Structure 1
Amino acid sequence: MIIPELLAVLSISAATGLRLALPLLLIGLFSGEQLWSTVPILANIPQVLVVIILVIWSLLELTISKDRVSRRFLQSAELFVSPFVGTIAGLAIARFANISDSWLLALLAMTGGALALVIQMVQVGWLYRFNSPPVWFMFFEDALCVCLVFFAFDAPEQGGLIALFLLWIAIRSSVVWRQWQTKKR
């Protein structure tokens, strides 16, 4: 059945919408000896270089995200990269689940990229709308990102449901922002 795989892709894509490098780093660590061999672009880069880049990027995401000015720069830059990282992570999980149909892989990859972009856009919108969320919320995002990666591998149904809940929050936020804009005019 395709539903658990779809939910796993949604889970990992939501995680890449929250943080970009941390889910890719955890995918490599969870995949065992093969490391990033199932990840499309990262499989062609030397593994030592991939580990160094992902560790540095993850540390930057985890530390810079707590400062308001640095967070604006980081999230604005990550907004353009998030669909690609969501696509790569979605493909990696789909390949890890042994999905071989090319049309299904393409569909899951597009879904993963779109979900990562939507969640990243909502984060940028929250940042510019509400200035800066409290620090405890940033730690909650970090923990949720790690949990979604765990769920993508071990409990895709729960991770997919959390991802769908995050999508519902994103849609609801856009409706609230739209209403706020019309009242402001």
Structure 2
Amino acid sequence: MLEVLAILSAAAAGGLRLALPLLLIGLLQGEQLWSQVPLLRHLSPYWVVGVLTAWSFVEIFLAGNLWGYRLIVLVQLCFSPLVGALLGITVATATETPQWLIGTLSGLFAFVLQLVQVGWFYRLGKLPRWVVVGQDVLCVLLILFALKAPKQGGLIALLLLWLAVRSAKDWQQRHRRSRYRQRSS
């Protein structure tokens, strides 16, 4: 059960950011940089560190510009299932569950969290800077919890899933009310 919570925690981090959780996973592995991450273990560690660090800074600094934030949201939406799957498979090295199942479920979990972020972005407009910093802090905590305290990380991930479901339900109800108002007018 703890492995499932660790997988959820890592996948939730992949649903919040792309490069930062992968960078943390690699750096926390010590001298064997990215040796457990399926696709990244075949690439040069120097290249991976450079690309992931550069994209982490892009995610932080382009978030201040509306067009930059739209670009970030689009890239994150496209790649969050892949990053979530990579993180889930990396954390699940101790389980006997097939990797394709872990990768699929953790990728879907990351994609759902990213979809909710996109919904909030289009609902509220540009997110405040403190929210972006809060997402980064939460992403770091989720990765650390996935590796060191999976129970707490999994509970935070389940809380994020609950918030995502509540947000989607709220959006659906608002949409139905607005359609009803349009018909009655």
Q: Which residue of 2 aligns with 1:169?
A: 163
Range moving further from structure 2, 108-117 or 15-24: 108-117
Task: Tell me the secondary structure at the aligned position of residue 24 of structure 2.
Answer: helix
1:22 alignment partner, one of 8, 20, 30: 20
Structure 2: which amino acid aligns with 1:129?
A: R
Q: Deviations over 1:93-132 (max 9, x none)?
A: 112xx33x352x3322222101100000000110001112
Aligned ranges 1:29-44 → 2 under 5 Å = 29-44=27-42
How many Å separate the matches in 1 of 2:148 and 2:172? 37
Contact 1:6–1:108, Cα closer than 8 Å, also in 2: no
How far apart are residue 35 of structure 1 and its match?
1.1
The residue number in structure 1 matching 2:46 is: 48
Normalising by structure 1, we get a TM-score of 0.93
CA contact (8 A) 1:40 1:92 kept: yes
CA contact (8 A) 1:39 1:92 kept: yes
Counterpart residue type for residue 151 of structure 1: F
- Whether 1:67 and 2:65 are equivalent positions in the alignment is yes
Is 1:111 the counterpart of 2:109? The answer is no
* Inter-partner Cα distance in structure 2 for 1:115 and 1:14: 7
Over alpha carbons, which structure has the higher Rg? 2
**Structure 2: stretches of 5+ with no match in the other structure:** 180-185
Instruction: State the distance in 2 between where 1:112 and 1:66 align.
Output: 29
1:145 pairs, out of 135, 139, 150, with: 139
Greater mean alpha carbon deviation, residues 170-179 or residues 65-74: 65-74
Moved over 6 A (4+): none
Residue 120 (structure 2) aligned to one of 119, 126, 149: 126
Q: Work out the CA distance in 2 between the residues paired with 1:149 and 1:37.
A: 17
Q: What is the letter of the counterpart of residue 57 of structure 1?
A: W
Extract unaligned runs of 5+ from structure 1.
none
1:92 to 86, 90, 93: 90
Name the CA distance, whole Å, in 2 between partners of 1:67 and 1:5. Answer: 39
SS of the residue corresponding to residue 178 of structure 1 reads helix
> Please, what TM-score do these two structures have when normalized by structure 2?
0.93
AA at the equivalent of 1:178? Q
Please report the RMSD computed on the Cα atoms of aligned residues, expressed in angstroms. Answer: 1.2
More moved, 68-77 vs 31-40:
68-77
